[in-house]
């Protein structure tokens, strides 16, 4: 096609399609219509007060059977404004360019004055109504007549001018006639609840009236972080009460937030019960008092999952749905600063309020452990305070490292159970690294506490350090040890005689993971035919066997070593092996349960035989 043949057309917008898009994809619920109307009223009052700071600032919502009106004493619109701003979707008077294209600087300037900026908010009313009427009188031009704009959801609108008496003073009255399926959102009780939800912190009076003229004020009391209080205790109490009313929990503590550059104030409430770190708390974010979202996680860094915030800011930037914050450098900076504030709180309580710190750790330690692995600062701050299971009992790593400059850590809970009594008797300090995250965290202790060393503890290392018995004792026990090896060979286990503390421990089963996997593989290969048996067989490696270590210092073992009767010696070995197995607290295989059973019956039989 040649240039000469070109003709220019203007896009047509299918308003019904657009409203459908907004209601299903932009807004979370039809209820946002009221937020958009309140917000327009607030912006209009802001604009009027810029001209005349003494102008009245009132918003009245009337919820009746068949219609809903929102009236404000704001700046109003002239007929030219109505043509310009109401008749064009996407045009907004709140941009300094007068509704023209978005310019970065102007946008930032208008954003600090107004909540709206996109020029689509009024469309949210079409989610609940087919017709919107805007009756308005400009404060900027007192001689201008009142103007009525009537728009319908099919995209048509009419404009008429009315005598000034149609609206007694400057301002705007928006009327919606709800559709049958939108009526539930404009019912009086619903409207009161919604107006409270969105408008509780609005700085201008907001009233909801019913058909009989009963007025309900939905705001008025300043939030506790703005109100004066008689004492710090009264202030703390007021903050906690606000949390209980708003979030329905009593916080462990309240952290006040104050960020003057964005006019942000509010509170971070420390949750009193544990939460999974992936379930980030939704924060309540108000913009110039108007509630933007009560589920905004993006206000704080991920690691701060243990607090829930309520903030009110002057210049945060919402997305077009107004239900989330626009992710930009300002938001990132706000997040970092608020995060730093929460860290300061943690540092503060770790230095000066140990009782609160312990309460905090008791509730949130698992989640803190999960996050500390990825958050170096959190790790540095909290690792010394986190509780771990150790040979000294349940203690913090800091306490433990003070007593043990070399921190030994096992890889599994079982290994800890196996070696803990012996290591403790030998004065060694071992941490159970078997629980989720624990071993990783213990290994990072030297970063936080230079001079501490952390070493993985393998049960084999422990045997290597157990004392050998003298050759004469070994020889005297030779026959018993031979029987013992025969009995436990079926479990791929070896038997050795050593001398170790505590004396009360007759035996110890050292069984590292590779040895166990190897045995499991061996068993499986035995049950499988053909290809799988070959594959499993070829995987078989020379892994160390398990070891039953008998304690020559233990009187029972000494007596067992001198048993002459073969049957009783077998039973004694089975009982010793079974007891060591139970101490290791690992799941038993069928053959092991059978052994335990046999040993028990054998001992009983022997005891009764003696009696007989
Ligand atoms: N109550 C009101 N008083 C005065 N002007 C209003 C009022 N409500 C709407 N307007 C005018 O209509 C325009 C469009 O309103 P709309 O709510 O669609 O968008 P917005 O508030 O500018 O931006 P956003 O889409 O971000 O809400 C506004 O820019 C404003 O000029």
pLDDT digits (tens, 9 = 90+) for 153-198: 888 899 999 987 888 889 999 999 998 888 899 999 999 999 999 9
**117 ligand 1 Cβ < 6 A:** yes
Q: What percent of the chain has pLDDT over 90?
A: 51
CATH assignment, 467-611: 1.20.120.790
Q: How far, in Å, is the centroid of ligand 1 from the Cα of 334?
A: 28
Residues in contact with 21: Cβ distance below 8 Å, sequence separation at least 6, in sequence order: none
Q: How far, in Å, is the centroid of ligand 1 from the Cα of 55?
A: 20
SS3 311: strand
Q: How far, in Å, is the centroid of ligand 1 from the Cα of 91?
A: 9
Chain region(s) in the chain for CATH 1.20.120.790: 467-611
Residues in contact with 432: Cβ distance below 8 Å, sequence separation at least 6, in sequence order: 388, 389, 390, 409, 410, 413, 416, 420, 438
What pLDDT was estimated at residue 110? 53
What pLDDT was estimated at residue 343? 87
* Full-model pTM: 0.74
**For ligand 1, mutation pick of 59, 70, 121 (most atoms within 8 Å of CB):** 121
Q: Is pLDDT of 423 > 70?
A: yes
How many residues can be counted in the chain?
612
**Weakest mean pLDDT among 121-135, 160-174, 215-229, 419-433:** 419-433
Sign of the dihedral through C-alpha 463, 466, 471, 474: negative
Beta bridge partners of 291: 286
Binding positions are: 36, 40, 72, 172
ipTM comes to 0.97
**74 ligand 1 Cβ < 6 A:** yes
Binding positions for ATP are: 36, 40, 72, 172
Cα 135 from Cα 162, distance rounded (Å) = 9
Cα 270 from Cα 257, distance rounded (Å) = 13
Mean pLDDT, residues 449-467 taken together: 82
Chain region(s) in the chain for CATH 3.30.565.10: 15-217
Cα 226 from Cα 74, distance rounded (Å) = 25
CATH number of the domain at 232-352, out of 1.10.10.10, 3.30.230.80, 3.30.565.10, 3.40.50.720?
3.30.230.80
Chain region(s) in the chain for CATH 3.40.50.11260: 387-463
**Full 3-state SS string of 55-101:** CCCEEEEEECCCCEEEEECCCCCCHHHHHHHHCCCCCCCCCCCCCCC
Mean pLDDT, residues 541-549 taken together: 71
CATH assignment, 15-217: 3.30.565.10
Cα 229 from Cα 235, distance rounded (Å) = 5
**94 ligand 1 Cβ < 6 A:** yes
Q: pLDDT confidence of 537, banded at 50, 70, 90?
A: low
Q: pLDDT confidence of 242, banded at 50, 70, 90?
A: very high
Q: How far, in Å, is the centroid of ligand 1 from the Cα of 104?
A: 20
What does each C-alpha distance from 498 to 296, 551, 554, 569 come to in angstroms? 62, 5, 10, 19
Q: Is pLDDT of 50 > 80?
A: yes
Q: How far, in Å, is the centroid of ligand 1 from the Cα of 163?
A: 23
Asked if the peptide bond before residue 502 counts as cis, ω within 30 degrees of 0, the response is yes
What pLDDT was estimated at residue 133? 96
Chain region(s) in the chain for CATH 3.30.230.80: 232-352
Model confidence pLDDT, tens digit, residues 139-152: 988 788 899 999 99
Tell me the fold of 387-463.
Answer: Rossmann fold (3.40.50)
Residues in contact with 573: Cβ distance below 8 Å, sequence separation at least 6, in sequence order: 480, 483, 484, 487, 488, 495, 560
Q: Are 389 and 431 in contact (CB under 8 A)?
A: yes
Q: What is the dihedral of CA 246, 248, 251, 254, to 10 degrees?
A: 0
């Amino acid at each position: 096609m040649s240039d000469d043949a070109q003709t220019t057309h203007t896009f047509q917008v299918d308003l019904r399609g657009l409203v459908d898009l907004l209601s299903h994809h932009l807004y979370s619920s039809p209820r946002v219509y009221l937020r958009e109307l309140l917000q327009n009223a607030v912006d209009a009052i802001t604009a009027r007060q810029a001209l005349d700071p003494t102008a009245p600032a009132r918003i009245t919502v009337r919820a009746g059977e068949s219609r809903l009106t929102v009236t404000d004493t704001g700046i109003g619109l002239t007929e030219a404004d109505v043509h310009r701003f109401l008749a064009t979707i996407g045009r907004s008077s709140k941009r300094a360019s007068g509704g023209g294209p978005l310019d970065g600087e102007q946008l930032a300037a208008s954003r600090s004055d107004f909540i709206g900026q996109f020029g689509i908010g009024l469309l949210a009313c079409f989610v609940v109504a087919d017709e919107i009427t805007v009756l308005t009188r400009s404060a900027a031009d007192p001689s201008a007549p009142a103007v009525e704009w009537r728009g319908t959801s099919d995209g048509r609108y009419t404009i008429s001018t009315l005598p000034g008496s149609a609206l007694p003073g400057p301002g705007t009255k928006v009327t919606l006639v709800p559709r049958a399926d939108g009526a539930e959102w404009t019912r009086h009780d619903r409207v009161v609840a919604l107006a409270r939800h969105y408008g509780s912190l609005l700085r201008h009076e907001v009233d909801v009236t019913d058909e009989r003229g009963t007025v309900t004020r939905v705001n008025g009391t300043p939030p506790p972080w703005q109100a004066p209080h008689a004492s710090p205790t009264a202030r703390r109490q007021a903050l906690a009460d606000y949390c209980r009313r708003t979030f329905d929990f009593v916080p462990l503590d309240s952290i006040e937030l104050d960020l003057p550059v964005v006019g942000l104030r509010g509170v971070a409430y420390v949750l009193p019960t544990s939460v999974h770190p992936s379930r980030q708390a939704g924060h309540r974010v108000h913009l110039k008092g108007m509630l933007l979202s009560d589920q905004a996680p993006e206000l704080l860094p991920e690691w701060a999952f243990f607090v829930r915030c309520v903030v009110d800011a002057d210049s945060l930037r919402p997305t077009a749905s107004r239900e989330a914050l626009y992710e930009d450098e300002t938001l990132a900076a706000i997040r970092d600063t608020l995060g730093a504030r929460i860290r300061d709180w943690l540092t503060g309580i770790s230095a000066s309020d140990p009782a609160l710190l312990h309460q905090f750790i008791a509730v949130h330690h698992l989640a803190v452990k999960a996050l500390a692995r990825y958050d170096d600062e959190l790790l540095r701050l909290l690792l010394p305070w986190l509780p771990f299971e150790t040979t000294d009992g349940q203690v913090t790593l800091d306490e433990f490292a003070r007593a043990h400059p070399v921190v030994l850590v096992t890889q599994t809970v079982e290994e800890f159970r196996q070696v803990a009594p012996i290591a403790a008797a030998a004065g060694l300090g071992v941490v159970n690294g078997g629980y989720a995250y624990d071993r990783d965290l213990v290994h990072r202790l030297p970063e936080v506490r230079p001079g501490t060393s952390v070493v993985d503890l393998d049960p084999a290392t422990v045997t290597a350090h157990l004392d050998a018995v003298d050759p004469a004792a070994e020889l005297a026990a030779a026959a018993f040890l031979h029987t013992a090896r025969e009995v436990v060979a079926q479990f791929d286990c070896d038997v050795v005689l050593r001398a170790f503390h505590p004396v009360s421990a007759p035996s110890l089963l050292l069984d590292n993971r590779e040895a166990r996997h190897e045995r499991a593989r061996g068993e499986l290969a035995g049950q499988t035919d053909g290809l799988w048996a070959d594959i499993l067989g070829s995987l078989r490696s020379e892994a160390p066997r398990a070891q039953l270590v008998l304690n020559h210092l233990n009187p029972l073992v000494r007596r067992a070593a001198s048993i002459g009767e073969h049957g009783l010696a077998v039973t004694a070995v089975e009982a010793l092996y079974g007891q060591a197995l139970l101490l290791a607290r690992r799941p038993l295989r069928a053959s092991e349960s059978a052994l335990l059973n046999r040993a028990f019956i054998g001992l009983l039989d022997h005891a009764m035989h003696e009696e007989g």
